Structure 1
Amino acid sequence: MKSRPAVVVLAAGRGSRFRGLHHKLVQTLGASTVLATTISNALATQMPVLVVTTEPLAEMVSRHVATRDMVVLPPAGSPAAQALGMGYSIAAGVAARSDASGWLILPADMPMIQTSTLRQVADELDGNAIAYAQHRGLRGHPVGFSAELYSELVMLTGDEGARRLLARYPAMGVEVDDPGVLLDVDTEDDLDRVRVAQREMQFREAR
């Protein structure tokens, strides 16, 4: 049976720009949280899902995925994590799903990305080294990488992420009718915008 792309949810960042009392990923979003909504959208694709997180969020993540579907890194900001960053999170997630035919990198603070968008980007990895979602011509997330880039992905470190791969290889933009590909939660104002977007989407679906 042909392997499928895996969704790697990145939930290991410090979220230092968010000034609320608690981590941005545990903030409420409707009847759920930012993190849980993102994971649920990923699971709904029926593709393999792996969550890269840290110890403070591990218990919450474990409510949604099995232990084998988690990679727990040292807490962001700790001495052990200083050399890590987004690049290391991507590398850890890809290495943990080395048998996948590709990987969709999904930031956990982007809960409005639709399941259909994840599937559309995954489909483009059949013929492209890199594919990414875009809305009205603006590049967003997720970004997908095919298996041919495995050796480079697992060597990533630091906070640059996979930017140098995007600069080196041709990438296919997948136009989607999904403004959620541009909406992340970095600040409290961002969270307010995401909450409004969710209510508007629920209203449209209920009509």
Structure 2
Amino acid sequence: MSKPIGVIVLAAGQGSRFRQVAGDEKDKLLADCTGRDGAVRSVIEHVLVNLPTELDRRVLVTTADRPQVIRMAKAYGCEIALVESTGMGDSIAAGVATCAQLNGWLMVLGDMPFILPSSIEQVTAQVMDDCISVPVQEGDYGHPVGFGRDFGPGLMALSGDRGAKALFAQGRVVEVAVDDPGVLWDVDVPEKLVFK
């Protein structure tokens, strides 16, 4: 029997660095990019397509002013958690609170469209109650990051712009070696829409 683990897609950030280059009206989550499968989709759709099908509890955390992102997420079976703050800590807390009864949570960043599904599966397979699983590409920690159920209270207590990095000191970290530069590749500026 598989343990129920939820996916929390963090998609509330406003992408200010991207907007500085592309223009204030440009939402990076809706920008087109060619995925590693060769298909052209929006950044957020690539993220949603790459999620393993066996993770059926999916929550996308975003702000109410992103109706296209919300529609896309619902089309891919996500529940929506709306936040007013764009801080990473607030988003993580809201996402975990939506499905707090699960055995673990996989934090997926909405602006990382080039992660291989196999890397997500490897990280998910290492989620255990008392540990944090993180992909490692050539010595660097990447995303997504999996948290076991013991970290639920700590995740729900996060707030503001601070993410979950402080929780790494409170438990066992399982490093999952991957051969996937996509785990380090976020779309923070328009040039990063092209994966090299």
Task: Call closer, same or farther: CA 1:109–1:26 in 2, change over 3 Å.
Answer: same
Deviation sequence 1:30-55 (CA, Å, 0-9, x none): 3210011101112x332021110112
Task: Call closer, same or farther: CA 1:157–1:12 in 2, change over 3 Å.
Answer: same
What TM-score results when the alignment is normalised by the length of structure 1? 0.82
Aligned partner of 1:154 in structure 2 is: 156
Task: Call closer, same or farther: CA 1:57–1:133 in 2, change over 3 Å.
Answer: same
Structure 2 residue ranges without an equivalent (≥5): 35-39
Aligned partner of 2:114 in structure 1 is: 112
Aligned partner of 2:37 in structure 1 is: none
For 1:49 and 1:171, how far apart are their aligned partners in 2? 23
* 8 Å CA contact retained: 1:128, 1:172: no
SS at match of 1:132: strand
Aligned letter for 2:123?
V
Aligned letter for 2:31?
Q
Aligned partner of 2:66 in structure 1 is: 57
Task: Call closer, same or farther: CA 1:58–1:99 in 2, change over 3 Å.
Answer: farther
Superposition map of 1:5-84 within 5 A: 5-18=5-18, 19-21=21-23, 22-30=26-34, 31-42=40-51, 44-47=52-55, 48-65=57-74, 69-74=79-84, 81=85
* 8 Å CA contact retained: 2:90, 2:158: yes
Percentage of pairs with the same residue: 37
For 1:2 and 1:34, how far apart are their aligned partners in 2? 29
Deviation sequence 1:70-125 (CA, Å, 0-9, x none): 11222xxxxxx3xx610010010011011221001111110111111111111111
Aligned partner of 1:132 in structure 2 is: 134
* 8 Å CA contact retained: 2:104, 2:129: no
For 2:152 and 2:96, how far apart are their aligned partners in 1? 7
1:170 CA drift (Å): 2.5
Moved beyond 3 Å, runs of 4+? none
What TM-score results when the alignment is normalised by the length of structure 2? 0.87
For 1:105 and 1:65, how far apart are their aligned partners in 2? 18
1:172 CA drift (Å): 0.9
SS at match of 2:72: coil
Aligned partner of 1:78 in structure 2 is: none
Task: Call closer, same or farther: CA 1:64–1:163 in 2, change over 3 Å.
Answer: closer
1:159 CA drift (Å): 0.9
For 1:85 and 1:127, how far apart are their aligned partners in 2? 26
* 8 Å CA contact retained: 2:12, 2:62: yes
For 1:63 and 1:179, how far apart are their aligned partners in 2? 26
SS at match of 2:66: helix
Task: Call closer, same or farther: CA 1:38–1:122 in 2, change over 3 Å.
Answer: same
Aligned partner of 2:195 in structure 1 is: 196
RMSD between aligned residues: 1.9
